[in-house]
Amino acid sequence: MRQTIKSFMLVAMLAAFSAPALAQTKECNEEFKSATYQKWYDNRKEHQDVAYQAAKEYLATCTTEDQYSTALKKFATAYEAMTANATSGKEFEDAFKNKKFAEQIRLGKVVLANDPDNTAVYIIMGVAGLGDPALLAESAQYAKKAIELIEAGKPFAPAGSKDQALASLNYVIGKANLKNAPADAIPYLLKAARFESDLKKNPQLYAELAAAYAEGPVAKLTDNYKVFVGKDETPESKLVLANLNQVIDRQIDALARAAALSTNAADKKAVMDQLSELYKYRNKSDTGLNELVAGILSKPLPDIPTPLTSLPTPTPTPANTGSQSGMTGSAQPATSGATKPASNTTSTSGQNKTTSTTGTGTQPGKTQTGTKTSGGAKPAASPTPKPRRNHRRG
């Protein structure tokens, strides 16, 4: 019995304590509406946190839409978005400072949802792929938007200059295409190399440009030439070969620049070995190779060659002076990769990142028998050229 009495007493005490609380529940009447709305109105500019609390209280108490609720809902939604974006913005800034590249992409999306024309965020996301190759494909999409905004006159910060920003962003897009669409990578790599930035003197960029030529147009034209191997020379076969030689010359030019810019002895040797094989294959000797490398940086970087649709009219040519361009001797089609220097320096908004990679590509002089043509003579039979990939990491 005593236990029962105690239970009744406890229930009564709890009821007594809860009664005031129930009495404090806000009632949606005209007095409440007027006072709460006035509190919001008076603080909506100078003390937005107070105004936000008033708006939330009003909307929680008066659930039926009225003359005040529309304005209060709009304010509350905007305030919540603003504070959320401020938090994300701070986190994004920290990710940028601490070089957390995956976080830059994740948080950047949140910031852009509320600030879709923030060029700085697009730039940072656009070059994140230079810091983390796993992000290259996604980063390249933001790089394209960043380029569009900068070229429309938007600020280039946090990059040190407009050229630096555009060089890095184009480089990201080029690198993103290297594996699956090497021919598409070439225009972006050329653009990256032409802006006045630290990338202009980066040997890795030119090694990758050489690889893009090798894996793209050189490989394609080599495949096109396979049907002519072992057959009588024809105007059609000569035209394919002439176009092939054009892109091989661009590959040689890119490798020569990589060699000229390499400051590490091991890097330079790796590039020179690859360049020597390709140069000898193209010119039938190595005469002039050292002179080519010594003077290559004083020459403008050549564009992608315009495909030939007809053979040029033959003209007498002087003896071979060692230049890889303009040679009249025909060359055997080949697929050849490009050696990447061991030191890989990339630019992220004016900052350098160094990793270690060394590779060797296919060497045409070692993979197939030369097809020497002169006049209308029948070319010697040769195995079908087959691209070979041989990458090693140091």
Residue whose C-alpha is closest to residue 103's, from 114, 123, 88, 113: 88
- State how far the Cα of 161 lies from the Cα of 169, in Å rounded to an integer: 12
Contact (Cβ atoms closer than 8 angstroms) between residue 129 and residue 94: no
Question: What is the SS3 assignment for 348?
Answer: strand
Provide the residue ranges of all domains of the chain, joining segments of one domain with +: 27-95, 99-183, 202-312+322-394
Which pTM value belongs to this model?
0.66
Contact criterion met (CB below 8 Å) for 55 and 75: yes
pLDDT given for residue 25 in this prediction: 62
Helix (H) or strand (E) holding 353: strand 351-356
d(CA 257, CA 208): 11
The radius of gyration of the chain's CA atoms, rounded to the nearest angstrom, is: 34
353 beta partners: 346
* Residue 368, CA distances (Å) to 242, 337, 386 in order: 19, 15, 9
Q: What is the pLDDT of residue 114?
A: 83
Full pLDDT tens readout for the chain, 394 residues: 444 444 434 444 444 444 444 345 679 998 998 899 999 999 988 888 888 898 999 999 998 888 898 899 898 888 777 776 778 889 999 999 999 999 999 999 999 988 899 999 999 999 999 999 999 999 999 999 999 999 999 999 999 999 999 999 999 999 999 999 999 999 999 999 999 999 999 999 999 999 999 999 999 999 999 999 999 999 999 999 999 999 999 999 999 999 999 999 999 999 999 999 999 999 999 999 999 999 999 999 999 999 999 987 776 655 544 444 433 334 444 444 444 443 444 443 333 433 333 333 333 333 333 333 333 333 333 333 333 333 333 3
Which residue(s) pair with 351 in the sheet?
Answer: 348
How far apart CA 242 and CA 311 sit, in angstroms, is: 8
pLDDT score, position 234: 95
H or E element, residue 197: none
- Mapping DSSP to helix (H, G, I), strand (E, B) and coil, where does residue 177 land? helix
User: What is the rounded CA–CA span in Å between residue 212 and residue 177?
Assistant: 9
pLDDT at position 262: 97
Round to whole Å and give the CA distance between 38 and 51. Answer: 9
